[in-house]
Chains A and B, each alone.
Chain A
Amino acid sequence: MKGKSLISITDYTKDEYLKILETAAGFEANPNQKLLSDKVVASLFFEPSTRTRLSFETAANRLGARVIGFSDSGSTSVQKGETLKDTIIMVSSYADIIVMRHPREGAARWASEVSSVPVINAGDGANQHPTQCMLDLYTILQTQRTLNNLNIAMVGDLKYGRTVHSLVQAMCNFNATFHLVSPQELKLPSVTKMHIKDANLKYEQYTELADVIPFADIIYMTRIQKERFSDPIEYEKVKNSYVLTKAMLEGCKPNMKILHPLPRVNEISEDVDTTKQAYYFKQAENGVYVRQALLATILGAK
């Protein structure tokens, strides 16, 4: 994987993911390893992000690398009309690796084609966010001690949530059964359902969150955004039906954990935070270890 860009979840094989997850576990046990003290990591955030940027920069710092970059494109020459291509060619002559988020779909793939150093996609519009998917896999493995044969419930905005699409695609490698809970308007796109069918796996669709709680191993919650609805009345009807509360957790499986890519708004009630099922903050922490593993592996230090 040395020198290999990570743009899309399909760029790495199942074995390569598993290797990254194993390396990440090593960083969780021992986070401060100055393996990249002679490296410069460029962190190019053409649109704002809290968790992803901070966790990448934390990962780079814990590895001893220096970080250059920007956290929104307002203060850069992009504002003067510079093309992405020119920005990337320039930065790739300064840094050893580029981590980038961009509002346009395909921006990271394009950057990887013009860059002389590897590129890690930290989100390209509505398209891909592969490092989120890897930290989701890491967290599932950590909580269930296996990735195989799990009942995964995906809840909320299954239509537009890119983390949902990537995670479904990735879990198709591990014989998962998918329980898809969403309002009618926000069902999983047929192209993603095709991945499940192609892998000969099963999925069920639900509109009630309570229906999946008794048998789920993982409940993956997502935020439902008002602007996704063509009819505001539809939003008002469903906005409270996908809220997970502590009371609903009674009767869940003992191994069940709740994940969320964050930020959450009201879809997980705060009284859930102190339950033993709540795992979303630990999931966000895991992002640092997985990103350490990726930076170290791609730069050839692991």
Chain B
Amino acid sequence: MDKETRELKVTAIENGTVIDHIPANNVFKVIRILNLENNNHQVLFGDNLDSEKYGKKGIIKVSNTFFAPDEINKIALVAPTATLIVIRNFKVVEKTKVEVPDEIIKIVKCFNPGCITNHENITTRFKVIDKAEMKLKCHYCEKSIARNNIIFA
């Protein structure tokens, strides 16, 4: 897809947010993390689209919705390559990359079956101890979790 076409798609909403360059097949995880299932505005998404940079990618467009950095950075766990584009009046007004947050709250389940968070109703908390490797450490049981062991709540 050439740049012009992509821009056209991106600007196809009047106001809202476009999340581009989501790794293919992770679109649904992003939807869940951002709780877009319960969003009342128009949500458009595509998966396995051709991408010059990544081969395949996913994209999500949400009308009339703007995300606080804390909120959007949660998706870094599943979409570290994502670009966030803010659209106002069909124009791109801001383009940023997601940043891995220092702490992940609620969206991840601890993989340690002996962790208290898997036995009582507790909001999970993880410190991101290695941003490049996406290694987490449970605030409660203090176990480290490698990227491939991350389970979403």
- Chain A interface (Cβ < 8 Å from any Cβ of B): 8, 83-85, 102-107, 109-110, 124-128, 191
Contacts and interface: CB of A to CB of B under 8 A. Distances in A.
A126 B119 CA distance: 16
A85 B142 CA distance: 19
B148 interface: no
Nearest to A110: B116
A109 B140 CA distance: 6
A191 B121 contact: no
B142 A110 contact: no
Contacts of A104: 114-116, 119, 141
Nearest to A10: B142
B132 interface: no
5 closest Cβ contacts across the A-B interface?
A106-B140, A105-B141, A106-B141, A106-B116, A104-B116
A125 B117 CA distance: 13
B116 A105 contact: yes
28 contacts: A83-B120, A83-B121, A85-B120, A85-B121, A102-B116, A104-B116, A104-B119, A104-B141, A105-B112, A105-B114, A105-B116, A105-B142, A105-B143, A106-B116, A106-B117, A106-B138, A106-B139, A106-B141, A109-B139, A110-B116, A110-B117, A110-B120, A110-B122, A110-B140, A124-B116, A125-B114, A127-B141, A128-B142
Nearest to A111: B116
- Main SS of chain B's interface residues? loop
A196 to B, nearest CB: 16
A6 to B, nearest CB: 14
B112 A191 contact: no
A210 to B, nearest CB: 34
B23 to A, nearest CB: 28
Contacts of B143: 105, 127
A125 B142 CA distance: 11
Nearest to B144: A191
Interface in B102-153: 110, 112, 114-117, 119-122, 138-144
Contacts of B138: 106
A112 to B, nearest CB: 11
Contacts of A128: 142
Nearest to B135: A191
A83 B117 CA distance: 12
Nearest to B140: A106
B141 A125 contact: yes
A169 to B, nearest CB: 11
Given A104-B115, A105-B112, A84 B120 contact: yes
Given A104-B141, A105-B115, 15 more contacts: A83-B120, A104-B115, A104-B119, A105-B143, A106-B110, A106-B117, A106-B139, A106-B140, A107-B116, A109-B116, A110-B117, A110-B140, A127-B142, A128-B142, A191-B144
